[in-house]
Amino acid sequence: MQTAGALDEFRNEPFTDFTAAENKTAFEAALAKVRGGLGREYPIIIDGEKISLPSKFESRSPFDHATVVGVFSEGDTDTSLVEKAIAAAEKAFATWRKVPAAERAAYLFKAADIMRQRKHELSALMVYEVSKTWAEADGDTAEAIDFCEFYGREMLRWSEEQPLTRIPGENNHFQYIPLGVGAVIPPWNFPLAIMAGMTMAAVVAGNTVVLKPSSDSPAIASAFMEILEEIGLPNGVVNFISGSAATGEAMVTHPKTRFISFTGSKGVGLHINEEAAKTRPGQIWIKRVVAEMGGKDAIIVADDADVESAAVGVVQAAFGFQGQKCSACSRLIADEKVYDALLDRVVELTGKLKVGSPLDADTDVAAVINKRSYDTTLGYIEKGIAEGGRLMTGGKGDDSKGWFIEPTIIADVKPGDTIEQEEIFAPVLAVTKARDFEHALEIANGTEFGLTGALYSGSQERIERAREDFHVGNLYFNRKCTGALVGVHPFGGFNMSGTDSKAGGREYLLQFMQGKLSSQKV
């Protein structure tokens, strides 16, 4: 276990090689163990008190409607819970903010150590709850470990003496102090990594939080709360409420909420930003909003690209975790000189993907998250074809047991078409033909989003041009546009993709702190 006093340099947690027989056997054992514990009830937790409400809801597996992953109290039915949770967080903040940064960081290192020991069990729970394939779930858990290890180290760095210009006759000191009570509202698609990263970044900076996970993924958040209890995190530092929109709204609008950390859809993010901007009675600050709101990400393939490498990267980025990543490639923009050859190869590779249960080690594409996503996605596919797109593969769904949609490619999509503009968040790839590299850049920048993007090209000149003019927060060259690593690829985007939060970057913790200067005459 890492301790604050003797830290190694940060290293990303290795991914599991499931081609190794011993790793496959270990993960199968974890799936069996988790299966045996499915259906249990998880409590709301406020100031360490475990609360059960009469009204419940179930988290059901997306790939098997009959499988109940967990049972949860419906926090929306008790309007006093948010008030109680914020009061508990406010009380805890009075002491937590004074805990030395090294001690706060040590809690993160302990949490990372436990997650590392239980990596397969946490990943297996995500397989059941959000239908992640083995590799996708393993990557999620590794990223959660990375966030704890990285943010712990970063807090130690920010707590050091900060540089100032010195003048005679004064001793000046600049420090970063925490903000207060925060509302943390994470998404379901990275239910451990993003949830843990958002929560523990705020906590290590000295804040206290009220955490409301997505109602599609409360079980993995509950498992994380059990880890926080195990490491002895003081009561009230992280308070947990399972619920839906009403609970989140109450957290956002409460006058004692100092900041809101949100990852999710553009519509919800804009609503949160609007509500947070309103000053309510008893509020003595301007609330801070940290928002990551999705994207409509494009991979450009130039006429001098390695078509095979590009095709592999596009398929991985478009259909990994069923396209349910804000970083996923949902648009392929290809130079007309390579358009047909590239399209043929992308279709061929997509046809080799195995669609099925994520319980199987060789499944590539599993179920989308819920019925709403299933219905909406099929509607987008119909819209894409109706607007002139050419269905190349996929296009069908199967909801007999779970929410399965075939990996779908629609070619000849025009700039400005619905599926070229709107985030679908599903295994649907829109393919657009560009006249040349300049036209491709114009198309790529022609949405309201700006999260990730990629360019495949053999020209360094074009790469430098894209570096200058491809307007996204995370830009990749000759590789896929998904798979950002903590500390390596600080993550966050422009425009309607959010506040460019740069999760996993050196400046991320500053969003949860404020600077204080003290000056003493000598």
Q: Annotated active-site positions, please?
A: 292, 326
For 13, phi then psi, to 5°, come to -65, 130
DSSP 369: S
Cα 427 from Cα 368, distance rounded (Å): 8
Residue whose C-alpha is closest to residue 237's, from 107, 103, 96: 96
Rounded-to-integer distance, Cα 354 and Cα 303, Å: 30
Pairing of strands 390-393, 408-411: antiparallel
Is the separation of the CB atoms in 157 and 510 below 8 Å? no
Strands, DSSP E only, in 27-133?
Answer: 41-42, 44-46, 49-51, 56-61, 64-73
Go through 333-349 and write b for each residue having 16 or more CB atoms within 10 A of its CB, e for each that does not. bbbeebbeebbebbbeb
Asked if residues 454 and 479 have their Cβ atoms less than 8 Å apart, the reply is yes
The arrangement of strands across the sheet holding 56-61 comes to 41-42, 64-73, 56-61
Amino acid at 228: L
- Rounded distance, CA 505 to CA 215, Å? 28
Tell how many helices (H) and how many strands (E) occur in the chain: 15, 21
Q: How far is CA 385 from the centre of its chain?
A: 30
Alpha-carbon Rg of the chain, whole angstroms?
23
Q: What whole-number distance in Å separates Cα of residue 157 and Cα of residue 410?
A: 48
- Closest among 393, 408, 412, 389 to 334, alpha carbons compared: 412
Taking a C-beta distance cutoff of 8 angstroms, is the pair 175, 224 a contact?
Answer: no
Check: CB of residue 192 under 8 Å from CB of residue 220: yes
For the chain, the 3-state helix, strand and coil shares in percent, each to the nearest 5, are: 40, 20, 40
Tokens 């966030």 -> residue: 147
DSSP 283: -
The Cα–Cα gap between 22 and 28 comes to 10
Question: Which residue do the tokens 């009561």 mark?
Answer: 235
Exposed, middle or buried, 255 (CB in 10 Å: 0-12/13-18/19+)?
middle
From first CA to last CA, the distance across the chain in angstroms is 44
